[in-house]
Amino acid sequence: MLNQYETVFIATPVLSESQMKEAVAKFKKIITDSKGDIVYEEDWGLKKLAYPIQKKSTGFYHLIEFRAEPDLIAKLEIEYRRDERILRFLTMKMEKYAVAYAEKKRARKSAEQKQENE
């Protein structure tokens, strides 16, 4: 059975834009190679951290929402730990209410963008 998950990771701020895209592509590939389905993805950009991590006060945040088998999570988190570009990460299983809320939020955001473009 496929569960829906949301993972957010913080990459080191010393990466160039192409290095950041490469890191994101690596984790997306891990998900898709394990028969996972990426539902949504959002780049939050460079943000200030609440406290310094590895002597860095900022980091690149990235969110990926996906459906996958539960055994993929351990594999994904091992790759996060092995990758020196990743400062922190968090993966959560989404309940049905969280999934519904996320879908409503995305629909509202796309409607607002559509209105702005008109």
Amino acid in position 49: L
Instruction: Give strand pairing partners of 91.
Output: 7
3-state secondary structure of 82: helix
DSSP assignment of 43-56:
EEEEEEEEEEETTE
The number of beta carbons lying within 10 Å of the beta carbon of residue 87 is: 18
Dihedral sign from CA coordinates of 74, 75, 80, 84: positive
pLDDT tens sequence across 70-115: 999 999 999 999 999 999 999 999 998 888 888 898 888 888 888 8
Output the pLDDT for position 62.
Answer: 94
Alpha-carbon gap, residue 46 to 111, rounded angstroms = 26
pLDDT tens sequence across 17-57: 899 999 999 999 999 998 989 999 999 989 999 999 999 99
Alpha-carbon gap, residue 13 to 106, rounded angstroms = 27
Question: Domain spans of the chain?
Answer: 3-117
Q: 3-117 maps to which CATH number?
A: 3.30.70.60
pLDDT tens sequence across 8-17: 999 999 988 8
